[in-house]
Amino acid sequence: YAPTRCAAAQTSVEQSILPPCHHHEAVHDPQLVPCTCPLFSCPWEGHLEVVVSHLRQTHRINILQGAEIVFLATDMHLPAPTDWIIMHSCLGHQFLLVLRKQEKYEGHPQFFATMMLIGTPTQADNFTYRLELNRNQRRLKWEATPRSVLECVDSVISDGDCLVLNTSLAQLFSDNGSLAIGIAITTSKVHNAEDEM
Angle at 162 between CA 54 and CA 95, to 5 degrees: 30
Q: Does 5 bind a copy of itself (CB under 8 A)?
A: yes
The yes or no reply on residue 164 touching a copy of itself (CB under 8 A) is yes
- The CB-of-12 to a copy of itself minimum distance in angstroms stands at 23
Between 21 and 64, CB nearer to a copy of itself: 64
Residues of span 62-101 touching a copy of itself by CB under 8 A: 70
Residues 33-62 contacting a copy of itself, CB under 8 A: none
Question: Which residues are registered as beta bridge partners of 104?
Answer: none
How near is the Cβ of 43 to a copy of itself at its closest, in Å? 32
Cβ closer to a copy of itself: 47 or 139?
A: 139
Q: How far is it, in rounded angstroms, from Cα 34 to Cα 45? A: 4
- Whole-number Å distance between alpha carbons of 109 and 121: 30
* List 123, 126, 145, 186, residue binding a copy of itself (CB under 8 A): 145
Q: Does 187 bind a copy of itself (CB under 8 A)?
A: no
Q: What sign does the CA torsion over 186, 128, 87, 71 have? A: negative
Give how many residues touch a copy of itself by CB under 8 A. 41
Residues between 124 and 143 with contacts to a copy of itself, criterion CB under 8 A: 128, 132, 134-135, 137-143
CA 64 to each of CA 5, 9, 56, 90, 113: distance values in angstroms, whole numbers, following the listed order: 10, 8, 12, 9, 17
Least gap, CB of 78 to a copy of itself (angstroms): 20
| Under rule CB under 8 A, residue 155 binds a copy of itself | no
By CB under 8 A, the residues from 165 to 184 that bind a copy of itself are 165-169, 172, 180, 182
- The CA distance from 51 to 36, in Å, is 7
Residue type at 90 in one-letter notation: C
Q: 138-144 and 127-135 as β-strands: parallel, antiparallel, unpaired?
A: antiparallel
- Give the residues across from 127 on adjacent strands: 187
Strand partners, 116: 96, 147
Taking each continuous run of H as one helix and of E as one strand, the counts in the chain are 6, 13
Using rule CB under 8 A, residue 154 touches a copy of itself: no
Footprint of a copy of itself (CB under 8 A): 1-3, 5, 70, 104-105, 108, 128, 132, 134-135, 137-145, 159-161, 163-169, 172, 180, 182, 188, 191-192, 194-197
